[in-house]
Amino acid sequence: MLFISVSVTKSSIQEISNGLCKFSPTSKKGKWIFVLQTFVLSFTPIILLIIQNSLTFYDTIGWKNDIVAKDSLVGECKMLSNVILSLQRERAQISLAVFLDAKSGKSTNLTREYTNTDNALNALQWKIYGTEKIFRNKLRFQIRIDDFR
């Protein structure tokens, strides 16, 4: 049988510097520092990317909320313009009917125009549109329109 003997001689272990401190890689403190450096250096880019993506996502959500709010305003403006157009068409038909009825002596039926205006007004979600009493609520405005008719 063959026996191999190995003799180990203790040599002086040098300390390593990481820029902040010096440590021996074989000591308990040195191993702890090495593991800490490994984790910090490994996860720093990942953490920075997560932070960057979070900030981008936050900005994107803010933009989306602004777009949704503006879309709501556009829809409201469309409904309000439908009411205004219906009122203008109604007034134009009334003017034409008054002019034609005065010449011909017969009366024109305007219920279709009144119904179109009422439908456009009912589709509108009412807000306070001015400082005058007439614009405080939808019912007051409808009563005033009916008085005018």
- Residue 87, in any domain of the structure: yes
- Residue 18, in any domain of the structure: no
- Residue 26, in any domain of the structure: no
Q: What are φ and ψ of residue 93, in 5° steps?
A: -65, -40
In whole angstroms, what is the distance from residue 142 CA to residue 87 CA? 12
Q: Give the three-state DSSP class for 64.
A: helix
Number of structural domains in the chain: 1
Which range has highest mean pLDDT (34-43, 64-73, 94-103)? 64-73
CA angle at 143 for the pair 141 and 144, rounded to the nearest 5°: 65
| Residue 57 pLDDT greater than 80, yes or no | yes
- Residue 99, in any domain of the structure: yes
pTM: 0.56
| Residue 6 pLDDT greater than 50, yes or no | no
Give percent above pLDDT 90 in the chain.
33
